[in-house]
């Protein structure tokens, strides 16, 4: 005999698919929504129902755009420099870089990273489209803004090979000590990268 009403069980079960959400967390979320103003669960339901039908991908940069919009606002914006392209793995990486307020170029979303373990090969990523952009937009610099992981590094290497002998500057994000972190607490790999990449004063 079930202790909880089926409608509540199904909320708990469907919330349980979210990353890092176990049954206890899902129960907590569901009970919170049940005790809260009904409009709160309603708003979430409406927002979720529209998620897939109203979000699309930019055909040029593969950033997230409102469905029906072909090209992302960041790309068409005349104040953004199309000759500098930051290559990122996922659309949310754009958000992180935009928050810095220090980048005036455009983006290119790969849609993942090369990962033989997860069965992701380079041809599943938007690398061919990036190479096409190099010529179309007369790109001067490609910034490889992938994670400092094995997948991030090998994807960056692959893209570097694909760009080949084109007259394009290729850079990548600096590796080093995060701001605010004490030297004694930094891990060895970060510290050796910080040494390698030391800058002259």
Residues near a second copy (CB under 8 A) are 1-8, 10-11, 13-15, 17-21, 27-34, 36, 38, 40-56, 63-67, 73-74, 77, 90-92, 94-95, 98
Residue 110: CB minimum distance to a second copy, A: 14
Strands 55-57 and 64-66: antiparallel
Q: Distance from CA of residue 123 to its chain's centroid? A: 18
C-beta closer to a second copy: residue 36 or 157: 36
Strands 81-88 and 64-66: unpaired
Q: How far apart are CA 71 and CA 56, in angstroms?
A: 10
Strands 169-172 and 141-144: parallel
Residue 191: CB minimum distance to a second copy, A: 27
Other Cβ atoms closer than 10 A to 114: 25
Enumerate the β-bridge partners of residue 55.
66
Whether the Cβ atoms of residue 186 and residue 177 lie closer than 8 Å to each other:
yes
Residue 62: CB minimum distance to a second copy, A: 13
Residue 79: CB minimum distance to a second copy, A: 10
Residue 109: CB minimum distance to a second copy, A: 12
Phi, psi of 109 (to 5 degrees): -95, 125
C-beta closer to a second copy: residue 95 or 189: 95
C-beta closer to a second copy: residue 53 or 199: 53
C-beta closer to a second copy: residue 93 or 131: 93
Q: How far apart are CA 97 and CA 145, in angstroms?
A: 9
């Amino acid at each position: 005999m079930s202790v909880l009403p089926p409608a509540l069980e199904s909320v708990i079960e469907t919330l349980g698919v979210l990353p890092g959400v176990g049954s206890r967390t899902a129960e907590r979320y569901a009970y919170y929504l049940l005790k809260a103003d009904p409009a709160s669960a309603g708003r979430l339901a409406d927002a979720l129902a529209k998620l897939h039908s109203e979000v699309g991908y930019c055909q040029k940069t593969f950033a997230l755009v409102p469905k029906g919009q072909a090209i992302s606002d960041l790309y068409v914006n005349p104040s953004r420099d199309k000759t500098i392209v930051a290559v990122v793995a996922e659309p949310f990486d754009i958000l992180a870089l935009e928050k810095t307020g220090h980048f005036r170029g455009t983006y290119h979303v790969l849609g993942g990273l090369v990962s033989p373990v997860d069965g992701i090969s380079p041809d599943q990523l938007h690398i061919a489209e990036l190479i096409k952009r190099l010529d179309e937009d007369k790109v001067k610099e490609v910034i490889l803004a992938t994670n400092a992981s094995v997948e991030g590094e090998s994807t960056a290497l692959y893209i570097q090979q694909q760009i080949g002998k084109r007259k394009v500057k290729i850079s990548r994000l600096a590796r080093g000590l995060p701001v605010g972190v004490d030297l004694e607490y930094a891990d060895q790999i970060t510290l050796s990268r910080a040494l390698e990449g030391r800058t002259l004063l």
